[in-house]
């Protein structure tokens, strides 16, 4: 940038040199910018860690709640199956749809394999014959068993033989698995 001299003459090559005060101001602005950037980066990292921990804890709580809901649902199914059995001259147990039609279960249990609160329910009915009494068994298995989106860890089983809920944490439970709580 040329500078005008006293008589209107211009110097073509002279440009004023920044003084030390200007350099210090520039350095301070640069340091404040870098310090602000570092502080913002640290703040974002801390927020990210808090969110990650919170989401992980939330998902664990959801899995635990799903498992508790599955146990409660199996208990309800067993109670309602007794009512169905007694209402049908102690001759048969009902499928999900039959129990739904009799207002014994809510609409979440519609279909042959309903999914309720992250668990897939599968009911098998044994019809009464000359050699076997009527019976039922129900499995409640997590919709997703592993990973971040797991809906549960434990598999549950209940049958009409003793109305005890059995649990297995690796595969669908059977009557041979230990009762829940043992």
Residue 141 lies in domain? 43-168
**Which of the residue ranges 13-27, 30-44, 131-145 would you say has the lowest mean pLDDT?**
13-27
The pLDDT > 90 percentage for the chain reads: 56
pLDDT-derived band at 58, boundaries 50, 70, 90: confident
Q: How many domains does the chain have?
A: 1
The bridge status of strand 119-126 relative to strand 135-142 is antiparallel
pLDDT in tens, 86-130: 999 889 999 999 999 999 999 999 999 999 999 999 999 999 999
Judge whether 56 lies within some domain. yes
Judge whether 10 lies within some domain. no
Judge whether 121 lies within some domain. yes
Q: Which two tokens stand for residue 73?
A: 């649902």
> Mean per-residue pLDDT for 4-18?
57
What's residue 55's pLDDT?
80
3-state class percentages of the chain: helix first, strand second, coil last, to nearest 5: 40, 15, 40
Using DSSP's 3-state secondary structure scheme, residue 123 falls into strand
What single DSSP character describes residue 179? B
């Amino acid at each position: 940038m040329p500078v005008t001299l006293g008589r209107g003459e211009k110097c073509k090559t002279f440009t004023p040199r920044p003084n030390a005060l200007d350099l210090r101001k520039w350095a301070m602005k640069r340091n404040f910018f870098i310090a602000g950037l570092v502080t913002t980066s640290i703040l974002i990292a801390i927020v990210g860690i808090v969110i990650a921990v919170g989401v992980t804890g939330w998902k664990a709580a959801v899995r635990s709640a799903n498992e508790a809901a599955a146990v409660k649902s199996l208990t309800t199914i067993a109670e309602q199956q007794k009512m169905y059995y007694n209402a049908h001259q102690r001759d048969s147990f009902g499928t999900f749809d039959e129990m739904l039609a009799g207002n014994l279960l809510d609409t979440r249990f519609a279909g042959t394999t309903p999914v309720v609160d992250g668990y897939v329910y599968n009911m098998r009915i044994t019809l009464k014959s000359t050699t076997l009494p009527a019976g039922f068994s129900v499995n409640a298995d997590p919709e997703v068993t592993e990973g971040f989106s797991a809906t549960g860890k434990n598999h549950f089983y209940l049958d009409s033989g003793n109305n005890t809920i059995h649990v297995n944490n690796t595969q669908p439970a059977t009557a041979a698995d230990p009762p829940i709580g043992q």
